[in-house]
Homo-oligomer: A and B are copies of this chain.
Amino acid sequence: MGEPNSLEILFNPKSIAIVGASRNPSTPNYNLLANLVKLQFPGKLYPVNPNVQEIDGMKVYPSLRNIEGEIDMVVSSVPAPATLDVIKDCVEKRVKVLVIVSGGFSEVGRDGRKAQEEIALLLKQAGIRAIGPNCLSPINTSNNLVIGFDPHEKLNRGSTSFILQSGFYEPRLEWIFWDLNLGVSKLIDLGNKIDINEVDALEYLGSDSNTRVIAIHLESIAGDSRRFFDLLKETSKEKPIVVLKSGRTQAGVAAVSSHTGAIVKGSPIVFDTALAQAGVVRAYTLEEFFDFAKIFEFLTPLKLTGNRIAIACLSGGEGAIVTDMCQERGFSLAKVSSETNVKLQEVGPPWKIPPNPFDIGVSGQFHPMEVYRAFFEAMTEDANVDCIAVQLPTFRNVSLPDNILRVFLEPIFKARSKKPIAVWLMEENQRYRTPIQFLEASRIPVYPTADRAIKALSALYRYTSMRTE
């Protein structure tokens, strides 16, 4: 089965050959090479294309065989029928790991499946490990390794790693890095799983010291499913794992099968049970997938051992809406201490107001500058409160000077290391970049809506409670 450290080479190759490299900046294949050059990937790069002599000043090789040095990794992005010859060259050159980007294999029917099996056999005989076909990866932010079709200028380094079975992430990569503000360590898109599968990937990331959170998009299990679930169980003790499983419904299974040519084994119910027993957090939409990864990335190692939540809204109406939401997602509204009650009453109106949900809008009319401070100070010190969710003021005037912003946001910064906090916005369009950047630079996750903030906190709570059961 090849060398034991093949994924180590996949994420840290000393040299990469790009077969199918293009000199036309408007084609996807151009960026396969250009991203590595622009991002100053530290290894050696060999563009390969028989029809081109030079790309942006770099020498282009007519074939892999013409390269003199050793090649750790080959990225093959040529039409499916031309792929077999590339594989033969890889065997000849004793390449260590191969990424088959091209589609047109097992996902297109019988002929494609046959071609894929032929390639698989050749690779196995030669001991070359491979991902794909029909995949777009890997990414390793720590050495600026990005195999992608879109241009990428800068990577957001973090400790979340992804195991995917689709390139859906790539047009979202800038959004993941700079809007979601999610720092990534590694990403692997397994495609049709000709060789390296979810078991290999999870095994590697489970013991990867740069990976603290793992997010898995799964269409089918190609490896040993028992081993996979055991690994999930073992790994999730130390690292939160979010799983988005496609093919939960009959129509979904059919769609999965035409996407990667996989046969989905086992019924969805068996799958659900196994995943629940493995201690992973399930996501059912792409929003949940990314939102949950974000709360773990931002808040780990903070634990959420209880379900008593304190909330603050800018209106009483929204307070009641969010209260229902919290209750329906497994939280209970914290019954705060009398000290908290006194502290909040001091910044509130002359009449008695309830402390939870706290109407920060009403209180803000009386002590606009003190109300956030009082709320966060009281709630973080209150032993009856496990976590906090709060709506951000609208900051209509985004050019507010920093010191005004700080009056609102400083108390949140101070509270952040004590208890899990999630923030949501009045409007979903993230118009308020300045305060969001302030908060997220201090690892306080901001979500577009209350529903998504509460769901993310509840993912954190589920994760902690599965650990302590």
Residues of A within 8 A of B (CB): 103-104, 107-109, 111-112, 150, 164-168, 171-172, 175, 179, 217, 219, 244, 246-252, 254-256, 258-260, 284-287, 314-321, 323-328, 332-333, 349, 351-354, 357, 359, 362, 394, 396, 426-430, 448-451
Once A166-B318, A258-B354 are accepted as A-B contacts, the answer to whether A175 and B251 lie under 8 Å apart by CB is: no
Contact of A219 among B103, B285, B317, B427 (CB under 8 A): B317
Q: Would A255 and B217 count as touching, CB distance under 8 A?
A: no
- Rounded to whole angstroms, the CA-CA distance of A108 and B353 in the bound complex is 7
Identify 16 residue pairs between A and B in the complex whose beta-carbon atoms are under 8 Å apart, listed by A's number. A111-B351, A166-B318, A166-B320, A167-B315, A167-B317, A168-B315, A168-B317, A175-B426, A252-B327, A254-B323, A254-B354, A255-B324, A285-B321, A287-B428, A287-B451, A428-B428
Q: Would A108 and B352 count as touching, CB distance under 8 A?
A: yes
Nearest-CB residue, chain B, relative to A178: B429
Nearest-CB residue, chain B, relative to A357: B255
Q: Would A320 and B252 count as touching, CB distance under 8 A?
A: yes
- Rounded to whole angstroms, the CA-CA distance of A321 and B353 in the bound complex is 45
Question: In the complex, what residues of B have CB within 8 A of residue A258's CB?
Answer: 316, 353-354
- Rounded to whole angstroms, the CA-CA distance of A258 and B333 in the bound complex is 14
- Rounded to whole angstroms, the CA-CA distance of A11 and B213 in the bound complex is 54
Once A247-B324, A251-B324, A352-B109 are accepted as A-B contacts, the answer to whether A427 and B316 lie under 8 Å apart by CB is: no
- Rounded to whole angstroms, the CA-CA distance of A189 and B321 in the bound complex is 16
Given contact pairs A168-B315, A285-B450, a sample of 15 additional A-B residue pairs in the complex whose CB atoms are under 8 Å apart: A107-B316, A109-B352, A168-B321, A171-B427, A179-B429, A219-B320, A249-B324, A251-B323, A252-B320, A254-B323, A255-B323, A284-B325, A285-B325, A286-B450, A429-B430
